[in-house]
Structure 1
């Protein structure tokens, strides 16, 4: 009799979970707010570079919208962020002989210094990565523009792995080339598609003094192919580019935080979030407006379906992920100072595409516990549960007993838009965005109900 009763309880719990997931997906797809919020962020505010007026407008807007949800608490967490400005649009051309030039699309890398006022023109040396610099030596590099032309590996199905395999040339390329006397750096955009959009992104000079720093820019994939082909035909070509970006003093900005206090275990905190800042070329719809509005929607969905979390559910819209990670570090620092107990953190920062599953940074035991929920997601075709990374902003929270997770949408189109001018609202599909929000809410519901490791199951809702 006891075994029969146990089986009935288990069946009832499974049915309750299935019903809750269905109600979350239905609410998101029929009454969702995420697309409306993203429309405002993208089209009324635009690109939200850290320290900019637009970043502050995004802070004010999302705070107001969270307050309108009737959460238990909404607040701003001050954080000092870098303020880098692009200035006037960049300009570049390939010169095959005096007076014979072909314009190519470029953009300054985030954090780069400017060229001289009249621009920089120099011979070009093409390399496949920073490891080629030592082989070539100072004699072949000094006074030239180093052209990093290692493309993303198209054979890797996971495009984030492909990105990881070549992003070092963008981040460290100028620092390393300057050590060999290079005059400047041009980097092939991190993009699997051939197009005319240069993709920006963060870069670092390491410990180089201001006088040692050289200008760095990204060139579109079409531009990179043209430059490489032209250089192969005529090694004596010159490349010209002009940019007047600059770094200003740090300014104060904010993480935007809202929470529903837990009804039974309020000391246990579950975080969902994305980063509110973006690069300035597009309007940051995929990176990471989508993650922000999906995270906001998680809390709204629980209110819509009438679910009161047992644990405290907190949405955090982090500032300055793109060029400093100051918001993520600040949140983790204050959490430790306050001795807060975080149980689980989920980040959405891989675009607003069709959700496929999650990656988890956790122990074997925790993953085995969570993996048992996969069948609940199979009707929604969201059942790729795997071990791996989570998200940059929640990474600083990492500690024993805390499970970190990342929403994993289909990644095949993400780098077509990442850090580029075409990352705009029109590139986001409403249904895909809403599916992602419901998927996040479903996982948060299960964590709230069952925790992140083997423990007694709490019946009822």
Structure 2
């Protein structure tokens, strides 16, 4: 009889707890969809401030604005964390064309890659050769590469449903292509934009030269996918054409900027810290609405939604708006360095840096036991069509926090349209759907709520019941 009573009691307790959790998730989603702030905040970041390139005036305006908005929320603590960041400037607009015969030219759309050096003052004109990957440059050797512009034409793999996997498969071409080509005497590189769509928007992004001395660094630019297709087709018919491009970018001295941090102090375990965040900087061609204004305002709204839903966290919830993810990761590294120096105990970190599209779920970097625990919460998310709870990548800015004691996670929105806008001039506010953005903020808040309530411990005590 005792066994029956205990089982009934345990079952009732579980059912009551589950019902409470469902009610709290309902509050969170309702508050986000009917009274959310994420879209309003993003409107200001995008349309009143604009692109927030690390080290720029706009980046500093974004720091000021988000701190002021944190202050309005009545949080327990708001502060700026200093961090030195690189300052690369684009300069005058880029210009490019290819020449099929003397005087016969076709203009193409390019943009300098972040971190690239400029062309000579009057631009750069040379014969152009095409490769399918930067690894093919070595096979061509100095005889075929020296004095030429190398066109690296590697499309993103279209049959991969996970578009981030497709992006990761060829982002090395953008980052390392110029350094590799310079080894064999190339004078410049043109890299196909990382975009699954055919359009006229060139997509910038970070590139590097490794330990190549300044005197041997060559300019590198991205070309739109439409123009990459056109150029490749022309080269198939005539491999003896000239390419001209001009860009005026420059690397300046590092400047001081800040991570912006807001916190709700935990009521029971204030020394256990849960982080939610996105990166405040963006590239300069658009206004950075999807990358990563969306993640910034969603993270801000997590704190507001917890308060608006009447949820007092047991653990400290900290929203961190990281600076300089795009071309240095200085903000993420600095935050982790300070956390380690202060001997802070971080138990969970969630990042949103995949755009403001419809949320599908989350990916987790954690133990199998912890993943199983998290997956048991899936029924709570089912009414909101959130089904993806899988092992996978979390995020660049929270990566430096990784150790054996922390669970890392990333919001996973539908990614099929993300790279249409990523690092391009059409990453603008008009391409963000208000409802999708708010669903993402609610999903993040719901996961933070559950992680705070149930913690990251996976060892359960087996109690032997006796008559």
- Say how many residue pairs are matched: 457
Which of 64, 80, 94 is residue 90 of structure 1 equivalent to? 94
Partner of 2:296: 292
CA distance, structure 2, for counterparts of residue 229 and residue 58 of structure 1: 43
User: Is residue 2:313 matched to residue 1:309?
Assistant: yes
1:370, 1:453 within 8 Å by CA — same for their partners in 2?
A: no
1:110, 1:323 within 8 Å by CA — same for their partners in 2?
A: yes
Partner of 1:228: 232
CA distance, structure 2, for counterparts of residue 126 and residue 14 of structure 1: 59
How far is 1:455 from its partner? 5.7
User: Is residue 2:337 matched to residue 1:348?
Assistant: no
How far is 1:454 from its partner? 2.5
**TM-score, L = length of structure 2:** 0.97
CA distance, structure 2, for counterparts of residue 247 and residue 158 of structure 1: 34
CA distance, structure 1, for counterparts of residue 82 and residue 460 of structure 2: 39
User: Is residue 2:401 matched to residue 1:388?
Assistant: no
- Tell me the secondary structure at the aligned position of residue 432 of structure 1: helix
Deviations 1:278-319 (A, max 9, x none): 000000000000000000000000111111100000000000
Partner of 2:43: 39
CA distance, structure 2, for counterparts of residue 345 and residue 456 of structure 1: 23
Deviations 1:133-187 (A, max 9, x none): 1111111110000000010010000000100111111000000000000010000
User: Is residue 2:271 matched to residue 1:271?
Assistant: no
Partner of 1:238: 242
Aligned positions of 1:254-269 closer than 5 A: 254-269=258-273
CA distance, structure 2, for counterparts of residue 453 and residue 378 of structure 1: 24
Which of 409, 414, 419 is residue 410 of structure 1 equivalent to? 414
**Where has structure 1 moved over 4 Å in runs of 4 or more?**
none
Partner of 2:378: 374
How far is 1:56 from its partner? 0.1
Deviations 1:345-393 (A, max 9, x none): 0000000000000000001111111111111111111110110110000
Partner of 1:12: 16
CA distance, structure 2, for counterparts of residue 135 and residue 53 of structure 1: 44
CA distance, structure 1, for counterparts of residue 139 and residue 252 of structure 2: 36
How far is 1:446 from its partner? 0.3
Aligned positions of 1:105-124 closer than 5 A: 105-124=109-128
Q: Which runs of 5+ in 2 are unaligned?
A: 462-467
Partner of 1:56: 60
Query: What RMSD in Å do the two structures reach over aligned CA positions?
Result: 0.8
CA distance, structure 2, for counterparts of residue 27 and residue 325 of structure 1: 33
Which of 214, 221, 235 is residue 218 of structure 2 equivalent to? 214
CA distance, structure 1, for counterparts of residue 177 and residue 140 of structure 2: 15
Aligned positions of 1:431-450 closer than 5 A: 431-450=435-454
- Tell me the secondary structure at the aligned position of residue 19 of structure 1: helix
**TM-score, L = length of structure 1:** 0.98
Partner of 1:136: 140
1:87, 1:245 within 8 Å by CA — same for their partners in 2?
A: yes
1:94, 1:103 within 8 Å by CA — same for their partners in 2?
A: yes
CA distance, structure 1, for counterparts of residue 194 and residue 268 of structure 2: 46
- Tell me the secondary structure at the aligned position of residue 292 of structure 2: helix
CA distance, structure 2, for counterparts of residue 399 and residue 76 of structure 1: 25
CA distance, structure 2, for counterparts of residue 454 and residue 250 of structure 1: 44
User: Is residue 2:121 matched to residue 1:100?
Assistant: no
Deviations 1:333-352 (A, max 9, x none): 00000000000000000000
How far is 1:453 from its partner? 2.9
- Tell me the secondary structure at the aligned position of residue 165 of structure 1: helix
Partner of 2:465: none
How far is 1:456 from its partner? 7.0
CA distance, structure 1, for counterparts of residue 337 and residue 175 of structure 2: 25
Report the CA distance shift for 1:229/1:210 in structure 2 as closer, same or farther (over 3 A).
Answer: same
- Tell me the secondary structure at the aligned position of residue 121 of structure 1: strand
How far is 1:3 from its partner? 1.0
